[in-house]
Structure 1
Amino acid sequence: MKITALVAALLALVVAACGGASDEVGGGSESNAAAASGGGSSKLSLVAYAVPKVGFDKVIPAFNATPEGKGVTFSQSYGASGDQSRKVESGLETDVVNFSVEPDITRLVESGQVEETWNQNEYKGVPFGSVVTIVTRKGNPENIKTWDDLLKPGIEVVTPNPFSSGSAKWNLLAPYAEKSGGGQNPEAGLAYLEKLIGEHVKVQPKSGREATETFLQGTGDVLLSYENEALFAERNGEDVEHTNPPVTFRIDNPVAVLKDSKNKEKAQAFVDFLYTKEGQTAWAEAGFRPVDPDVAQQFASDFPPPEKLWTIDDLGGWGKVNDELFEPETGSVAKIYDEATG
């Protein structure tokens, strides 16, 4: 199958992330993440989950246009959220982290690399987010619109592995929340996931970006993904479309500054900028749902509200959800994956 220009670009991003390479923007010469984090006050290193590069491509130039951001350059590394978090925990130097799920920052709090107060601002450390959506081929030939539709005979679903990807956790939590009534009947939610994973998920890419690449190359009937990732593909002319189910899940993508950042003042200024009107507008233009209510109102037509939007707090918070569902070997979802994959 002929690979489109977008797929080729996605593949290049995946190879760069997996190989430890980084992109530097905002001026300056090439450098790796470690060099950028120790190179002085005009350089910042960003380690992030796989898909927000399209957002940072808009946000960073907007920051550079401010007095605080003038002359600041960025080294960027993108990859599966859990993998990126573990790399930083193991010693990868950086100034700012942006992960798909809160537990990937909690890991760095517990290791002493991020302050416990990282999420104490008005928006709990989350400058942007999304919702879980269903992506199909153009025209939606299988008429997939709801979570029940994913269980139709013969439907193949592409979603990443939840033990490397934050996107995968969100994707599973959306139908789990609907079927369990927000966690009130966990057995019903798990029964649904057992059918979905055991009978319909045939491939498990490492990240949300790799899952998109896999789907665009022709694998599967349905891709579960971030709404922003679907918008990115559609706006780049890919032969796909997305449907937000009537009941879905709010995605919160947190950002934090590292304690030992050698450029902490600039790093904090950058993170603060993400919440400004200019920063929020840049995120919205890139397809991410802004958290500022005024900016959200301006882009309301791009981000229709679902009939019901569950949140991680509805399920008891990430501490409870991670322990009960995603803890390796003991979590309920982990057991389902073990049984499905042998």
Structure 2
Amino acid sequence: MSTTLVRPRRLTAVLAAVTAAVVGVAACSSGSSASTVRLVAYSVPKPAYDALGKAFAKTKDGKDVEVKGSYGPSGSQSKAVIGGQKADYVGFSVEPDLTKLVDAGKVEKNWNSGPTKGLVSDSVVVIVVRQGNPLGIKGWDDLVKPGVKIVTPDPATSGSAKWNILAAYTHILSEGGTDVAAQAYLKKFYKNIVSRAQSGATATTQFTSGTGNVLISYENEAISARAKGAKLDYIVPEQSILIENPAAVTKGASDGAKKFLSYVESEAGQEIFAAHGFRPVVKSTKIPTVAGANDPSNPFPTVSKLTTIAQLGGWSAVNKKFFDEKTGIVTKIGGAG
């Protein structure tokens, strides 16, 4: 008799405990708004994105939002997302790496319809040299002289490599030269290349480790390396190209990802980019003192002859002319493989 009475009591106790546990978990889940923004980007702006993620977390919109980044060569990162890598926010070196995601149905077609036209940072191509500039490099023409050993990434994987090559090529055009003269220059330029890394960040690591005596790079990458203590100098040439870096959220991205993009595009976010050596896309951004710049109080000097992708006909025309796998100028010279 007693045994029959004990079992229901035990069963009731167990059911009560299970119910309490379930309610507790449900309460905990409903009371938490924690979310993760999966950021997939090219390697160069990692320090800036790390700082942006931390700053965003301190805002009302960023409360309980964690930004987790995956970084690598721009082209490779784009292919990874197309291939299935999960991403909420994508940031690339060049626009074609982003528009490939539009074609693949990963990003909305109107990604560039906002106030910054889908761009989150600017920069210019610079010439990085050993500390004290022992070769006396002043500009592009010095890079094709005997004894110059150039480090620059591979355009097959790296967006920064494309910017570097276009800057080298268009410096001839900006001085009134022809395409024939620009191609002749580029052939000489390539003969002096001693290393082609997969990404801009890897190229910088190779250079600071002793490879070559000239590095072609983003202005912000040179500034960042100097800020970290690298013994190098950089020259902002009179002729360069405006580097424009796009970003977007993917289809179905969380509100946290959308708010993070809005923060990146805000003056506060742009000031963080500027502090890491990028030229802000929002012109009203307050420019902070930038450690590592040639002049920290005036870190972004005016480039007298600055070419834009728009002036070259846009990325579709540029890719076809320079980087087409069969007919591109760079492909023929041997720089795309």
* TM-score calculated relative to the size of structure 1: 0.83
What pairs up with 1:1-342 in 2 under 5 angstroms? 42-181=35-174, 185-197=178-190, 199-261=191-253, 263=254, 265-295=255-285, 301-337=298-334
Structure 1 Cα separation of the partners of residues 93 and 178 of structure 2:
26
CA deviation after TM superposition for structure 1 residue 285, in Å:
0.8
Structure 1 Cα separation of the partners of residues 89 and 311 of structure 2:
28
* Residues 183 and 116 of structure 1: CA distance in aligned 2, closer, same or farther (over 3 Å): farther
Structure 2 Cα separation of the partners of residues 41 and 67 of structure 1:
13
Alignment length (residue pairs): 298
- 1:71-98, CA deviations, whole angstroms, 9 ceiling, x for partnerless residues? 1112211100000100111111110000
- 1:267-289, CA deviations, whole angstroms, 9 ceiling, x for partnerless residues? 11110111212111111111111
CA deviation after TM superposition for structure 1 residue 184, in Å:
8.0
Q: Is the 8 A contact 2:150 2:216 kept in 1?
A: yes
Task: Name the amino acid aligned to 1:241.
Answer: D
Task: Name the amino acid aligned to 1:138.
Answer: Q
Aligned to 2:4: none
Structure 2 Cα separation of the partners of residues 281 and 177 of structure 1:
30
Q: Is the 8 A contact 2:75 2:159 kept in 1?
A: yes
* Residues 254 and 41 of structure 1: CA distance in aligned 2, closer, same or farther (over 3 Å): farther
Structure 2 Cα separation of the partners of residues 190 and 291 of structure 1:
31
Task: Name the amino acid aligned to 2:125.
Answer: V
Greater mean alpha carbon deviation, residues 269-278 or residues 295-304: 295-304
Q: Is the 8 A contact 1:94 1:258 kept in 2?
A: yes
CA deviation after TM superposition for structure 1 residue 298, in Å:
5.8
Structure 2 Cα separation of the partners of residues 323 and 75 of structure 1:
35
Structure 1 Cα separation of the partners of residues 64 and 300 of structure 2:
34
Task: Name the amino acid aligned to 1:306.
Answer: V
Q: Secondary structure at the match of 1:62?
A: helix
Cα RMSD (Å): 1.8
Greater mean alpha carbon deviation, residues 292-301 or residues 329-338: 292-301
CA deviation after TM superposition for structure 1 residue 188, in Å:
2.1
CA deviation after TM superposition for structure 1 residue 181, in Å:
3.6
Q: Secondary structure at the match of 1:117?
A: coil
Structure 2 Cα separation of the partners of residues 297 and 249 of structure 1:
21
Structure 2 Cα separation of the partners of residues 204 and 277 of structure 1:
35
Q: Is the 8 A contact 1:289 1:296 kept in 2?
A: no
Aligned to 1:24: none
Q: Secondary structure at the match of 1:301?
A: coil
Task: Name the amino acid aligned to 2:195.
Answer: V
Structure 1 Cα separation of the partners of residues 177 and 65 of structure 2:
48
CA deviation after TM superposition for structure 1 residue 157, in Å:
0.4
Q: Secondary structure at the match of 2:327?
A: coil
Structure 1 Cα separation of the partners of residues 56 and 181 of structure 2:
46
Q: Is the 8 A contact 2:102 2:109 kept in 1?
A: yes
CA deviation after TM superposition for structure 1 residue 324, in Å:
1.1
Structure 2 Cα separation of the partners of residues 72 and 182 of structure 1:
49
Q: Is the 8 A contact 2:153 2:160 kept in 1?
A: yes
* Residues 183 and 73 of structure 1: CA distance in aligned 2, closer, same or farther (over 3 Å): farther
* Residues 296 and 184 of structure 1: CA distance in aligned 2, closer, same or farther (over 3 Å): farther
Structure 2 Cα separation of the partners of residues 254 and 187 of structure 1:
31
Q: Secondary structure at the match of 1:67?
A: coil
**What stretches of structure 2 of length at least 5 have no aligned partner?**
1-32, 290-296
Task: Name the amino acid aligned to 1:220.
Answer: G
Q: Is the 8 A contact 1:47 1:84 kept in 2?
A: yes
Q: Secondary structure at the match of 1:142?
A: coil
Task: Name the amino acid aligned to 1:293.
Answer: K
Structure 1 Cα separation of the partners of residues 300 and 284 of structure 2:
13
Structure 1 Cα separation of the partners of residues 210 and 181 of structure 2:
32
Structure 1 Cα separation of the partners of residues 72 and 142 of structure 2:
30
Aligned to 2:24: none
Task: Name the amino acid aligned to 1:274.
Answer: V
CA deviation after TM superposition for structure 1 residue 189, in Å:
1.8
Q: Is the 8 A contact 1:183 1:315 kept in 2?
A: no
- 1:122-149, CA deviations, whole angstroms, 9 ceiling, x for partnerless residues? 2211111211000000000001121101
Q: Is the 8 A contact 2:128 2:222 kept in 1?
A: yes
Q: Secondary structure at the match of 1:121?
A: coil
